[in-house]
Amino acid sequence: MAKKKNEYVCQQCGYKSPKYLGRCPNCGEWNTLVEEIIQDKPTRHSRVNLSGEGSKVQKLKEVTSQKEPRVKTNLEELNRVLGGGVVPGSMVLIGGDPGIGKSTLLLQVSQQLSLLDGNVLYVSGEESSEQIKMRAERLQDGSNDFYVYPETDIGAIKQTIDQLQPEFVIIDSIQTMIHPDVDSAAGSVSQVRATTAELMQIAKTNHIAIFIVGHVTKEGSLAGPRMLEHMVDTVLYFEGDRHHTFRILRAVKNRFGSTNEIGIFEMRQIGLVEVLNPSEAFLEERIDGATGSAIVCSMEGTRPILAEVQSLVTPSVFGNAKRTATGLDYNRVSLIMAVLEKRAGLMLQNQDAYLKAAGGVKLDEPAIDLAIAVSIASSYKDQGTLPSDCFIGEIGLTGEVRRVNRIDQRVLEAQKLGFKRAYVPKNNLPGWDKPQGIEVIGVETVSETLHKVFS
């Protein structure tokens, strides 16, 4: 008879301990070790891989490669993030804050895939069939000819998949699934690991595309063991501010495409709607002649997006100046303010500074440095920038404006939206054809840029 033993497993990182500890020695979190009953079973060695076929040794040149067929949904933004569409036999993990729209997105995908003569099984461990029906009627985007199965037992789910033979399976969510062979609570490290492994085996063996929803912690990372992200083929994060309607779908891992792509949606009453021109949406509320505002063209994967960087610089009332940043990296803002004080002669040490990327978008690439510096100087000098100007460039510690990548795509996007001048690094000027209708100005230092903008 198999022996049972108890061990304590950290719910954050998966660390195992034979006795209870108040603080996990691996990740440092407090009160995360939970007792689990482990039943020893004889180890079975198998020569069968995940696809159910026998394993054999081959030379790489003898392996025949085949291009994976993709199934395209009606959401082009989702297809872009997935690398061109849904790959049969793949496993996609979608994480995000509660209420951000993960279930809504997958319900829309289920409706659209069922229109493509695809057999779809929607498994929900959090909602009843009636609740899913109510949400589907509100969306009004596609067919409701797909199967709904409110169940948490992975064994029963596997039997249902064997009976229906669907091409697509939605699991909402992985933290509610229970493996019958694991004696621990739903959502524990052992349960998440076991159920994900079972679903991966089902996906590869039956050539089924499986989407699973994952909860996130208060820090914004996916809950459960880090191994969860390593086991799946694609990891997508659904980001957004609950005070704004825009949602960003970002790929952080993709075995079938690039991890630099993003998809932008807008949450409406009828569900998620694609934002085909995000630059225009992020700039539509900009006030002409306002101080502390600068436009930057940021690259998100292969897509250029124009966004507004806003700054408010005011004299500090207390001894220490306050700095806040929303949608921007705080350390980057502090670095640029130090460069402006040292290299451009702006006395900012006694000034409070509040910066944000308007519209709820997050900007984190080096090319936004010049726009941040111009917006800070605009608020400090109380002089507005021209509404037809945009700024692209990275700033070094010595005050130089350094070259950035894909300058031609950035300037072309600015020209399409009616901008007349673009300040770019001088080293980026040669080697490409400038579009008609926009003046491209090369700058070498941040002080030179401020002189040309505010003179």
pLDDT (tens digit, 9 = 90+) per residue, 351-402?
A: 999 999 987 788 989 999 999 999 999 999 999 999 999 999 999 999 999 9
Which candidate, 123, 259, 85, 253, places its Cα nearest to that of 199?
123
Q: Where are the domains of the chain?
A: 4-39, 71-276, 280-454
- Rounded CA gap, 105 and 249, in Å? 10
* Range 117-142 average pLDDT: 86
Looking at every residue in the chain, the average pLDDT score rounds to 87
Confidence of residue 324 (pLDDT cuts 50, 70, 90): very high
Dihedral, CA of residue 88, residue 90, residue 96 and residue 98, to nearest 10: 70
> What is the fold of 71-276?
Rossmann fold (3.40.50)
CATH number of the structural domain 280-454: 3.30.230.10
**Cis-peptide into 298, omega within 30 deg:** no
More confident position, 307 or 227: 307
pLDDT (tens digit, 9 = 90+) per residue, 421-443?
A: 999 999 999 999 999 999 999 99
- Rounded CA gap, 254 and 257, in Å? 5
How confident is the model at residue 261, as a pLDDT? Answer: 81
The residues, any chain, with a CB within 8 Å of residue 372's CB and separated by 6 or more, are 294, 296, 309, 311, 328, 332, 333, 336, 355
- Rounded CA gap, 340 and 342, in Å? 6
- Rounded CA gap, 119 and 207, in Å? 13
How confident is the model at residue 52, as a pLDDT? Answer: 56
* DSSP per residue, 229-277: HHHSSEEEEEEE-TTSSEEEEEEEEETTS-SS-EEEEEEETTEEEE-S-
- Rounded CA gap, 162 and 154, in Å? 12
Collapsed DSSP state (helix, strand, coil) of residue 161: helix
- Rounded CA gap, 99 and 104, in Å? 9
pLDDT (tens digit, 9 = 90+) per residue, 82-122?
A: 988 999 999 999 988 888 889 999 999 999 898 887 899 99
Q: Are 104 and 78 in contact (CB under 8 A)?
A: no
Chain position carrying tokens 């790489």 = 60
Four-residue CA torsion sign, 320, 321, 322, 327: negative
Whether this model's pTM surpasses 0.85: no
User: In whole angstroms, how far apart are CA 129 and each of 123, 134, 138, 354, 386?
Assistant: 10, 9, 14, 47, 55
* DSSP per residue, 112-159: HHHHTT--EEEEESSS-HHHHHHHHHHH--S---SEEEE--BHHHHHH
- Rounded CA gap, 194 and 200, in Å? 10
Four-residue CA torsion sign, 257, 358, 107, 145: negative
Q: Are 93 and 234 in contact (CB under 8 A)?
A: yes
